[in-house]
Amino acid sequence: MAMDRTPPQWLPPTAYQPAPAPAPPPPARPRSGIRKFATPILLGLLALLKWGKALLLLLPKAKLLTTSASMLVSVGAYALIWGWKFAVGFVGLLFIHEMGHYIQLRREGVKPSVMLFIPFLGAAVGARSLGGSALAEARVGLAGPILGSLATAALIPIAIATNDDFWYALAFTGFFLNLFNLLPVVPLDGGRAMAAMAPWMWFVGFGLMVLLVFVWPNPILLLIVLLGGFETYRRWKHRKDPVEGNAQYYRVKPLHRLLVGGVYVALIVGLAVGMDLTHVVRTFDDA
């Protein structure tokens, strides 16, 4: 039975009209340029006030994190060629070598920056200066090979006690590393020593590096030649200019030159002997 939907006569017709749709909300007012940029800045300032003290406490540890991370990268890179065991030992010897520079920089009153390891290029300790004179630069340069050579020499008793070729090979590589750094060309340690002994030896060292590039083509040697050539030219050109104290920088007493030369030659002889003692003759049967 159909229902009668006709409105009663006593009700007005509008009582059954549908309710009107709600009005749309007013459009959001776009933020002004000032508010757009001021809000994140204000939030950043509030966060800085809240956590700034903690960040300041972590800043000194950033250098340690950078050094550790670069060491791990270097270990991984060297491990691809020599294996993990040798890579860890080699990077450890690099670290001790660089610690020699770091310690001497502090003794010279220079605040070193972060120690950075670069795979297949070694490591470096940054500093704004190497001391106030060529003699100080020579001390900083020779401190790395001195400490590095002592650490490498400590491996010889272990090699003898274990009779393991691994320790002989690691020691041989450490001696070679320090000996290579004594080549008289900047920016190697030997070039730093020549600043106090005889700056003209930079050209001899540069010639040796160029010869090595032709005899044993290597991208690392090529990079050292490029850096050494630029640095040698720059320093030789300005060695007597009264700019930044360079005229006084290279004035070293004869006795000090003799002492630097004695340490330099003693290191070369000692490292050559160390390489001879730790050299392992390999044959095809050993492979």
Q: Which has the higher per-residue pLDDT, 31 or 139?
A: 139
Helix (H, G, I), strand (E, B) or coil at 29: coil
* Model confidence at 221: pLDDT above 50: yes
Distances (CA, A) of 80 to 77, 168, 218: 6, 20, 19
Q: Are 138 and 192 in contact (CB under 8 A)?
A: yes
Cβ atoms within 10 Å of 150's Cβ, excluding its own: 13
Cβ atoms within 10 Å of 238's Cβ, excluding its own: 14
Q: What is the mean pLDDT of the chain?
A: 79
* Model confidence at 168: pLDDT above 90: yes
pLDDT of residue 129: 78
pLDDT of residue 236: 84
* Model confidence at 75: pLDDT above 80: yes
What value does the mean pLDDT take over residues 110-115?
A: 86
CA-based torsion, 258, 262, 268, 271: positive or negative: negative
Beta bridge partners of 115: 125
pLDDT of residue 33: 47
| pLDDT band of 174, cuts 50, 70, 90 | very high
Q: List helix spans (H) across the chain.
A: 33-82, 84-107, 134-153, 155-162, 165-180, 189-197, 201-215, 219-237, 246-249, 254-278
pLDDT of residue 286: 53
| pLDDT band of 97, cuts 50, 70, 90 | very high
- 10: alpha, beta or left, given left = phi > 0 and alpha = psi -120 to 50? alpha
- Of all residues in the chain, the percent with pLDDT exceeding 70 is 73
For 31-67, write each residue's pLDDT tens digit.
544 454 445 445 544 544 554 444 444 445 556 677 7
* Model confidence at 78: pLDDT above 70: yes
What value does the mean pLDDT take over residues 126-142?
A: 88
Q: Are 257 and 196 in contact (CB under 8 A)?
A: yes
